[in-house]
Amino acid sequence: MPLWSHFSILLGANTSAMNNQKSKVAYLVGSLFLIRKKVLEEVGTFRSVKNAIHEDRELGIRVKKAGYKKL
């Protein structure tokens, strides 16, 4: 994604830490992600992040905190 580095600067996060399970850095980008229904339901569905400013990022953080990682 051409603007990915700009997003990381604006959000103050190191995107290289996303794949580190010990890191709190997590992102989901708009409609560019797939997630299993079971995982989405476990982390609270989209309703759990509806009031977040960066709801995609918040959902990514919830998925990562739940112990899931990319396949």
Each residue of 13-58: pLDDT tens digit?
666 676 677 777 776 766 677 889 999 999 999 999 999 888 888 8
| Nearest one of 18, 51, 14 to 33, comparing CA atoms | 18
Residues in contact with 56: Cβ distance below 8 Å, sequence separation at least 6, in sequence order: 27, 28, 29, 30, 33
Residue 25: predicted pLDDT: 72
Residue 68: predicted pLDDT: 85
For 10, 27, 35, 64, 68, the CA distances from 71, given in Å and listed in that order, are: 27, 15, 10, 12, 9
User: What does the block give as tokens for 36?
Assistant: 């299993």
Residue 35: predicted pLDDT: 87
Residue 8: predicted pLDDT: 62
